Amino acid sequence: MNVAVIDYDAGNTLSVTRALKKVGARVDLTADPERVAAADAVVLPGVGAFGDCMRKLHERGMDQACHETFRAGKPFLGVCVALQVFFEVSEESPGVQGLGILPGRVVRFDVGDLKVPHMGWNDLTLTRSHPVLDGLDGEAFYFVHSYYPEPKETAVVLGTSEYGTKFCAAAGRENLAAVQFHPEKSSLAGLKLYENFLDWARGL
């Protein structure tokens, strides 16, 4: 199982790569869209601002590679800000178009006296079953973010968490699944998620 990790200078790229290798993946960390196209499965990491991520993806032709991965039906996993860029737009970067694979927008936390960004461990509550999240309902994951997606369709929400408000922490459709938290910083539960992704990828 050859897993391409899209390299576009995201801060968590190496930790995502190490976690995938730890659960047995053969990882190709690549900035080449053609190598992404040749992979059996694809992971899009992400740290930082929505607009910066989209700019870097576009500069490397990786925005098109993401669309082609989805259209080809290949198992596709997004991590952290990658969840947000799969949506259409974000309050963080007005005027910047996201990948638009998932319908909806990304909004900033409005949680009164609670600190933003939201940083720390929060439980994941599954809203529908998905192979990537199998056995992880109620598990705690590590979050660092100021924004979260508001999907137009509740059917794409896979899981929620709470920080002053209930928010979408995992979403997906068809061959795509994405999570707001950092599995690679989430101990055994995070490794289980990457293991689930590999199992799902082998079955698709």
Which residues are the active-site residues? 80, 182, 184
Q: How far apart are CA 90 and CA 52, in angstroms?
A: 12
Cis peptide leading into residue 149 (ω within 30°)? no
And the tokens for 130?
């998905």
Residue position matching structure tokens 């800000």: 81
Give the neighbor-by-neighbor strand order of the sheet with 176-179: 26-30, 2-6, 41-44, 76-79, 176-179, 166-173, 157-162, 125-126
Q: Ramachandran region of residue 71, left (φ > 0), alpha (ψ -120 to 50) or beta?
A: alpha
Backbone angles phi, psi at 114, to 5 degrees: -70, 145
Strand, helix or coil for residue 133: helix
